[in-house]
Chain A
């Protein structure tokens, strides 16, 4: 029994509680607690990342206790729910993403000045929830954390957001709440299917994967399985904010404070990607195979739809929302191919897009703080007064459009290598999205940092070292992934190869 994974979840939670106990507008204690909590949990994740035995593979640092049992839960089959945590090649990259984005977002929260105890409290509970989603080895627990995320997100947008914050928070909640219904039904449906096949109803990820994966093809492709898959897919589309269930994201981004946007676009949206790989591809590979074209079409639709809309946005936050959506389209197209290259590419895109989105939101947040607006119509020529922030923003934009040297490039090449081998025609449309990304991101840069500096912007202060640190850390992380892709590839290789084998076998 390893408690390390448990601590990763508990430490941010504890830091959140401490922060809460501090006086209402106290600045230092909540921030210190949050910084320490996110740093320690990040170090723990780092240690597990390094300590993970890649040759052995599978779930490690596992902590698992039977939680409760429902006797004859469904059709006379008992269901045991475990309180299980652990990490494997698939969850580690996402845990690491959470660690980096989480810590940098806490760091970048210095500009939050009201009700700081609550703010850092909610922020840390959000982090705990996200760690929990990626570290759970039981679907019940995973669902619990997925629900847990909603509460802090709701308050973080609703209290510290912009003018329309309550609306945006409500919209976020309604969307994700509805997707929760789909997810919970799908989870229990899977447990039921597994019970039909293997005799035991379970929500344990490893057991479910084993039973459903190895189960009789007939049972796996039963009509109910198809329905469950489509339900899960719809829920994942909402989680990832994919067309046509995406409009909550631009709205939420436009209202949420910058550090919350870093986590929202960087990690919260990526839970959908994780669910796709973990549950859809991991447990129902036959269904992914059957609906591959549908999934790929949705992917391409998102790449192009979001790409074209991003073209006409003038609010940076809405632009970044559509950038994320477009990236998630690449994810879906790649994952649908169910090839080793495609699945690796999907994971690389999820992680890199997360890092880059956080980086860009950090920069946009700083610009907003200084210039008083993040609407490109009111910006321009910022390279002169704010060269470092502008440079880092440009680096983020270039990374997002797939410049080699950063993780997104590796993800895109792998993704299209996978998708072209299965859907050549669709991929030809999808790859055009790379061009769109260049157009809309460089256009945004041109309108923001290039051109003559308006007199009102001449004397803006550049970011201080402390202020640009989150961006620098995120940039180092995404360059690390881009130059040494084996960091992720080697870790996730076996887990993803097993997924790919699911469709071949």
Chain B
């Protein structure tokens, strides 16, 4: 089956082209059926591949030459695909979540005039994302990396007539592009150093000391290369300080947020660091940067999530925070723990988004202040959301508990108590903010004005399936299954981690329950007023509520100066450069005799003069050369 792995992305691509051919006015049911069927086939194939890999199937990359641009080795680009334990797992996750999201969208997008286009974009995304994970080299990864970015752009801006959506689409593309420029530079550097874009070739070159360019030593190159690659990963995975695009990306339809901005695309950065772990492992500096950026992102995202009033924004900041955990794990060389968390997070975060989508669909608002009391009216949505919230908070035996604890234990084992502390505080925030959302949405009195109804089966079935995963996905890597998932993934050389001992487990469970309890006191029981808390802690509250003023900062420090610079250059262009030119031109024209006639605007006259001018020009240069004849 592994030899046919290319079919996994190819089938959604075919479905995309089919929908493209069917046009914009395709029947909703047809579009959805084609989409779900295609992703379902991809899911089945992915599962078969996964089983093959688990049984030790071949892992050679299948390659062909894409472009030869010079003689000799090092002047070709390869394309192809590869299958290994990491991307076999990714294939399953991506195709599984995709299938459910495409099914869910049948209900959520029902009635949208561009329903068919929505499915086109989603299928293009699924193709690109699956293509990304089976790419055997950095260059091909970059190709799909940009394509998923394109799909994200198109889908965030799907409701383009909303100015916020249009702005958010551009912002998401530009901010991630900033990281991508670094990634591309890093890829090119590694290529120049090794003559190959291939992950394994580069890893081998690192291990055999073959990584060098004339102007930088091997150690410096490893660090520079790793940091540049990480810049790309940080952009895609919304790591501090490039996290600012992800909350805005919530302007896209909610299924998009679930699929692209929670489960799959934003995890691509984590996947990239994991796939090129050998590179990071060669540079302790780069690993530390990854770890601390991850830690900062984890706490920053969680801290902002505490106070947001838009249900999707809270979950978006939660995604940022959880991606931070994964990066932190990779930074302390806890390779399989990070991938494990990527795995569990994909399910429970997609679940939270889709459940939120179900709520938004029912109440037609994203404002937490206008929800409440939905537990009885939307029992399936509410209970599945609860599963997701428990998994996110890290309450045993839900999925997030096992993977998050492994990362936290690894920070401790790696001798990074500061990171451990950051992770624990973030875990407390996490439990608090997600249950704040839960209580505000599902308990108490309903504060909206539209009568909410439970969503239909196309929307609740994906919720139920994801809820089961949010409960059980973590067991694949839990101690009582002998860390099966971690063993399946294997550890690349240099990676090390610790299983979470009972101590860490106990502390983190206590912290989570504490957070949930506080949320219950404030928003469930109303025993203590959240307003009073925000008043007494107002500087912190405002910092969190205003997202630490990152957007304002970037506006002032980057956007406006760049604009001013552009204006200044434009002025130089129009006034100085063109001014000199005009001066010269007028002086030249004044010398010529026919100045007045030119001004008559008669084009023929003008043309004649031109012709004469050219002839004269040739004649002059000619005689200049020939004039020196002896």
Residues of chain A at the chain B interface (Cβ within 8 Å):
70, 72-76, 147, 150-151, 154-155, 158-159, 166, 169-171, 173-174, 177, 180-181, 184-185, 188, 192, 243-244, 247, 250, 305, 308-313, 339-341, 344, 381, 383-384, 387, 398, 403-405, 409-410, 413-414, 416-417, 420-421, 424, 427-428, 431-432, 434-435, 438-439, 442-443, 445-446, 449-453, 485-486, 489-490, 493, 496-497, 500
8 Å CB contact of B577 from A155, A244, A486: A244
- Complex CA distance for A328 and B50, rounded to whole angstroms: 47
Residue contact A188 to B70, C-beta cutoff 8 Å? no
Q: Contacts A312-B563, A398-B150, A416-B184 given: A384-B161 contact, CB under 8 Å?
A: yes
Residue contact A435 to B70, C-beta cutoff 8 Å? no
Q: Contacts A74-B628, A403-B150, A446-B170 given: A311-B562 contact, CB under 8 Å?
A: yes
Residue contact A432 to B181, C-beta cutoff 8 Å? yes
- Complex CA distance for A451 and B159, rounded to whole angstroms: 9
8 Å CB contact of B68 from A70, A490, A500: A490
- Complex CA distance for A192 and B628, rounded to whole angstroms: 12
B144, closest chain A residue (CB): A404
Looking at B377-385, B434-442, B603-611, the stretch in contact with chain A turns out to be B603-611
Residue contact A344 to B69, C-beta cutoff 8 Å? yes
Residue contact A340 to B569, C-beta cutoff 8 Å? no
Residue contact B618 to A438, C-beta cutoff 8 Å? no
Q: Contacts A181-B617, A417-B192, A490-B68 given: A312-B567 contact, CB under 8 Å?
A: yes
Q: Contacts A166-B601, A493-B68 given: A417-B191 contact, CB under 8 Å?
A: yes
Q: Contacts A308-B565, A309-B573 given: A158-B181 contact, CB under 8 Å?
A: no
Residue contact A450 to B169, C-beta cutoff 8 Å? yes
Within 8 A of A (CB), among B594-630: 598, 601, 603, 606-607, 610-611, 613-614, 617-618, 620-622, 624-626, 628-630
Residue contact B181 to A434, C-beta cutoff 8 Å? yes
With a CB–CB cut-off of 8 A, which chain B residues contact A344? 69-70
Residue contact B607 to A158, C-beta cutoff 8 Å? yes
Residue contact A155 to B160, C-beta cutoff 8 Å? no
Looking at B51-59, B171-179, B256-264, B357-365, the stretch in contact with chain A turns out to be B171-179
Q: Contacts A438-B174, A452-B161, A486-B66 given: A177-B617 contact, CB under 8 Å?
A: yes
With a CB–CB cut-off of 8 A, which chain A residues contact B598? 170
- Complex CA distance for A453 and B169, rounded to whole angstroms: 17
Q: Contacts A166-B601, A403-B146, A420-B189 given: A151-B607 contact, CB under 8 Å?
A: yes
B615, closest chain A residue (CB): A147
- Complex CA distance for A489 and B68, rounded to whole angstroms: 7
Q: Total interface residues on B, using CB and 8 Å?
A: 75
Q: Is B536 an interface residue (CB 8 A)?
A: no
Q: What are 6 contact pairs spanning A and B, CB under 8 A?
A: A150-B610, A170-B606, A184-B617, A421-B213, A442-B169, A450-B166
Residue contact B606 to A158, C-beta cutoff 8 Å? yes
Within 8 A of A (CB), among B145-199: 146-147, 150, 153, 157, 160-163, 165-167, 169-170, 173-174, 177-178, 180-181, 184-185, 188-189, 191-192
A402, closest chain B residue (CB): B146
Q: Is the interface of B mostly helix, strand, loop or mixed?
A: helix
With a CB–CB cut-off of 8 A, which chain B residues contact A72? 629-630
Q: Contacts A158-B603, A170-B606, A497-B71 given: A76-B161 contact, CB under 8 Å?
A: no
Minimum CB–CB distance from B419 to chain A (whole Å) comes to: 31
With a CB–CB cut-off of 8 A, which chain A residues contact B153? 442
Residue contact A151 to B625, C-beta cutoff 8 Å? no
Residue contact A450 to B70, C-beta cutoff 8 Å? no
- Complex CA distance for A500 and B75, rounded to whole angstroms: 13
Determine which residue in A387, A398, A435 has the highest number of CB atoms from chain B within 10 A of its CB, and name it: A435
Q: Contacts A414-B69, A443-B170, A485-B67 given: A184-B611 contact, CB under 8 Å?
A: no
8 Å CB contact of B188 from A74, A308, A404, A420: A420
- Complex CA distance for A341 and B188, rounded to whole angstroms: 11
Q: Contacts A341-B69, A442-B173, A446-B170 given: A166-B603 contact, CB under 8 Å?
A: yes
8 Å CB contact of A74 from B178, B184, B626: B626
Residue contact A489 to B69, C-beta cutoff 8 Å? yes
Q: Is the interface of A mostly helix, strand, loop or mixed?
A: helix
Add 15 more A-B contacts to A340-B70, A450-B160 (CB < 8 A): A74-B626, A173-B610, A177-B614, A180-B617, A185-B625, A311-B562, A312-B567, A383-B161, A398-B150, A409-B146, A417-B188, A417-B191, A442-B174, A449-B160, A451-B166
Residue contact B75 to A174, C-beta cutoff 8 Å? no
- Complex CA distance for A305 and B143, rounded to whole angstroms: 27
Q: Is B4 an interface residue (CB 8 A)?
A: no
With a CB–CB cut-off of 8 A, which chain B residues contact A244? 577
Q: Is B447 an interface residue (CB 8 A)?
A: no
With a CB–CB cut-off of 8 A, which chain B residues contact A305? 569
With a CB–CB cut-off of 8 A, which chain B residues contact A76? 630
With a CB–CB cut-off of 8 A, which chain B residues contact A150? 610, 614
With a CB–CB cut-off of 8 A, which chain A residues contact B480? none
Q: Is B284 an interface residue (CB 8 A)?
A: no
Residue contact B563 to A155, C-beta cutoff 8 Å? no
With a CB–CB cut-off of 8 A, which chain B residues contact A384? 161
Count of CB-CB pairs between chains A and B under 8 Å: 200
A445, closest chain B residue (CB): B170
Q: Is B552 an interface residue (CB 8 A)?
A: no
Q: Contacts A185-B621, A417-B188, A435-B178 given: A247-B581 contact, CB under 8 Å?
A: yes
Residue contact A147 to B614, C-beta cutoff 8 Å? yes
With a CB–CB cut-off of 8 A, which chain B residues contact A341? 69-70, 75
Minimum CB–CB distance from B196 to chain A (whole Å) comes to: 12
8 Å CB contact of B24 from A177, A308, A387: A387
With a CB–CB cut-off of 8 A, which chain A residues contact B3? none
- Complex CA distance for A185 and B625, rounded to whole angstroms: 8
Q: Is B142 an interface residue (CB 8 A)?
A: yes
Q: Contacts A170-B606, A341-B75 given: A493-B69 contact, CB under 8 Å?
A: yes
- Complex CA distance for A403 and B213, rounded to whole angstroms: 28
With a CB–CB cut-off of 8 A, which chain B residues contact A169? 606
With a CB–CB cut-off of 8 A, which chain B residues contact A431? 181, 184-185
Residue contact B75 to A340, C-beta cutoff 8 Å? yes
Residue contact B67 to A486, C-beta cutoff 8 Å? yes
Q: Is B570 an interface residue (CB 8 A)?
A: yes
Within 8 A of A (CB), among B25-79: 66-71, 75, 77
Determine which residue in A151, A309, A414, A445 has the highest number of CB atoms from chain B within 10 A of its CB, and name it: A309
- Complex CA distance for A70 and B251, rounded to whole angstroms: 73
Q: Contacts A405-B143, A500-B70 given: A450-B157 contact, CB under 8 Å?
A: yes
With a CB–CB cut-off of 8 A, which chain A residues contact B67? 410, 485-486, 489
B598, closest chain A residue (CB): A170
With a CB–CB cut-off of 8 A, which chain B residues contact A424? 213, 215
Q: Is B493 an interface residue (CB 8 A)?
A: no
B149, closest chain A residue (CB): A403
Residue contact B566 to A434, C-beta cutoff 8 Å? no
Q: Contacts A247-B577, A435-B178 given: A416-B185 contact, CB under 8 Å?
A: yes
Minimum CB–CB distance from A34 to chain B (whole Å) comes to: 20
- Complex CA distance for A70 and B222, rounded to whole angstroms: 62
Q: Is B481 an interface residue (CB 8 A)?
A: no
Q: Contacts A312-B567, A420-B185 given: A154-B163 contact, CB under 8 Å?
A: no
- Complex CA distance for A188 and B618, rounded to whole angstroms: 12
With a CB–CB cut-off of 8 A, which chain A residues contact B174? 435, 438-439, 442
- Complex CA distance for A305 and B573, rounded to whole angstroms: 10
Determine which residue in A166, A171, A404, A416 has the highest number of CB atoms from chain B within 10 A of its CB, and name it: A404
Residue contact A442 to B170, C-beta cutoff 8 Å? yes
8 Å CB contact of A413 from B188, B215, B614, B621: B188
8 Å CB contact of B177 from A70, A171, A181, A438: A438
Minimum CB–CB distance from A379 to chain B (whole Å) comes to: 13
- Complex CA distance for A154 and B189, rounded to whole angstroms: 45
A73, closest chain B residue (CB): B626
With a CB–CB cut-off of 8 A, which chain A residues contact B578? 247
Q: Contacts A416-B185, A428-B185 given: A311-B563 contact, CB under 8 Å?
A: yes
A345, closest chain B residue (CB): B69
Residue contact A309 to B569, C-beta cutoff 8 Å? yes
Residue contact A154 to B607, C-beta cutoff 8 Å? yes
